[in-house]
Amino acid sequence: MPSSSRRKVKIVCTLGPSSSTEFQIGTLLAEGMDVARLNFSHGTHEFHARLIGSVREAARKAHRPIAIMQDLQGPKIRVGALPKGGLELKAGDTLLLYPEGSTPKTSTHGKILVPISAEIAQSVAADTQRGARILFDDGKIATEATQVSGPEIVADVLIGGRLTDHKGMNFPGTPLSIPCLTEKDLVDLKFGMDHGVDAIALSFVRSANDVVTLKEMLRKLSPNPPLVVAKIEREEAVDARDSIIEVTDGLLVARGDMAVEIGAERVPIVQKQLIRTCHELGVPVITATQMLESMIHSPTPTRAEASDVANAVFDGTDAIMLSGETASGSYPAEAVRTMSRIAIEAETAREMNSTRADIQPLPGSTVDAIEHSAAMIARHVGAVAIACITHTGSAVRTLSRYRPETPIVAIMDNEAVLRRLSLSWGVRGVLVPKIGSTDDLFTMVETSLLAQGWAEPEDLVVITAGIPTLRRGTTNMAKVHRIGPHLGRS
């Protein structure tokens, strides 16, 4: 069995120029990619359409369910076009921020002109107060607003540096009223739905309402909408994290923008809090940003990066994400291989692994009681797998919440739902013909596990299902089953 099959934590890989061909994507799959992330801050629809086709074909050849996550750009606040070489800013300089393409109305005397995205300038100015901090280029340049006359802002430079075209801006401590979904996002969203993406990552979430709004929109577009993954990067989202987790299908801890917004010193604690709450509620959580950043240019990681990945695993994250490492780096396959090896080592150190926390079943929930019991039974009898017969994936996600040592196998007849389980900790899946009756249920489980090499004749497995109807939401049975000695590998 490949080492990546033993890994419980999932790996999300961002695709880009370094991973755009079917061969390159197939290599990432072989090294352990579980979810392909498409970053819609970059690339054309034609480019992303080719990526989607290549992912689907590579997954088909590898006989693996791979999820595709569309990451929407959101209202990214950026500097506009600047003079060639950028602007060298010094402490004490005064900036005039104005909408790109317009003529400033505020006096320009003694000020350095900095155009910003025209579509957001008015809204940003309306939210900004005198004394507000305005950061550029991931916080490398710091300024303070001294005058606001919408859509223009005058700011004094506190910490200087070279500012170049299209660098990002942050307004830490300033609640922004810009909608999460921009006009670009709505166009990209339709593209994603038309191409069958499995999850939508929503950028710059501020409140639970942002997530609810997107989910309602998706339900109108499809009877089987993709998962919604809320990205936590704004200070408002950190403050509203519990209510956001309650309504979202998944969470992405976007540590880059979060560090600029709340301070890098707070990020490790917030990361642990977010992962802990998601784990308790059974919501898949992805830890992201600069996990193996040095591997963009180096074939090996730093010791600090290896520790960062391992600590995310110890925290109990469902998935860990690579960004530039696989999208534009020189060593994409090596980055995935390295991340997989670190995760496996961390999972092996169970005495340090907080994912073994004692999560209890929700009162009154039959599914929770069954899956919690299945995890304990499997450990006590030495089962090689827990096979969940499921239609919606809910029972499997519930079982994943209890972090069993025994491998989880989802057996289902819906390929789209099976792909979405790629985000959930410890879950592997098998697609079977339509599940209609219980007559051949156990034979189907045996055949599936043997074919994948996840069990041998005479092995014990634990099976959960809804008996006798096998209808959705009817899980009521956990059975210890011995695979027949007459069966062999298919």
According to the model, what pLDDT value does residue 353 have? 60
Counted domains in the chain: 3
**268: domain range?**
3-74+179-348
127 shares its domain with 228: no
Report whether pLDDT(470) > 80. Answer: no
Binned at pLDDT 50, 70 and 90, residue 485 comes out as confident
Q: Does residue 79 sit within a domain?
A: no
Final residue of a structural domain among 170, 196, 231? 170
Asked if 309 and 235 sit in the same domain, the reply is yes
Q: Is residue 359 part of a domain?
A: no
Q: Considering 124, 139, 170, which residue would you say is the last residue of a domain?
A: 170
Proportion of the chain above pLDDT 90, given as a percent: 79
Question: Average pLDDT, stretch 48-74?
Answer: 96
Residues 311, 410 within the same domain: no
When mean pLDDT is compared across 32-36, 215-219, 238-242, 354-358, the lowest value belongs to 354-358
- Does 325 or 487 have the greater pLDDT score? 325
Give the pLDDT of residue 118. Answer: 85
User: Any idea what the CATH number is for the domain that residue 391 is in?
Assistant: 3.40.1380.20
Least confident of 327-336, 365-374, 436-445: 436-445
Token pair listed for 47: 């480019």
Is 80 within the bounds of a domain? no
Q: Active-site residues: which are they?
A: 37, 78, 231, 289
Single residue among 113, 142, 170 that ends a domain in this structure: 170
Q: What integer is the mean pLDDT of 221-248?
A: 95
Going by pLDDT thresholds of 50, 70 and 90, the confidence category of residue 1 is very low
Instruction: Please check the confidence at residue 66 and state whether its pLDDT lies above 80.
Output: yes
CATH number at residue 149: 2.40.33.10
Please report, for the domain that includes residue 12, its CATH number. Answer: 3.20.20.60
- Identify whether residues 392 and 326 lie together within a single domain: no
Q: Considering the domain boundaries, does residue 217 fall inside one?
A: yes
- 28 within a domain of the structure (yes/no): yes
Question: Is position 355 within any domain?
Answer: no
Question: Which of 57-61, 221-225, 472-476 shows the lowest mean pLDDT across its residues?
Answer: 472-476
Same domain, 196 and 52: yes
Pair (299, 188) in one structural domain: yes
166 and 185 both lie in a single domain: no
In this predicted structure, the answer to whether residue 369 has a pLDDT above a threshold of 50 is: yes
Mean pLDDT, the chain, rounded, equals 92
Over range 200-210, report the average pLDDT. Answer: 95
* Percent of the chain's residues with pLDDT above 70: 94
Do 233 and 305 fall within a single domain? yes
Q: Say whether both 320 and 253 belong to one domain.
A: yes
Average pLDDT estimate for 140-162 = 96
Q: What is the pLDDT of residues 116-138, one digit of tens each?
A: 988 889 999 999 999 999 999 98
Q: What is the pLDDT of residue 196?
A: 96
Asked whether residue 272 is assigned to any structural domain, the reply reads yes
Whether the per-residue pLDDT at 357 is higher than 60: the answer is no
The answer as to whether 490 is a domain residue is no
Q: Are residues 271 and 408 in the same domain?
A: no
- Whether 47 and 186 share a structural domain: yes
Q: Same domain for 228 and 370? A: no
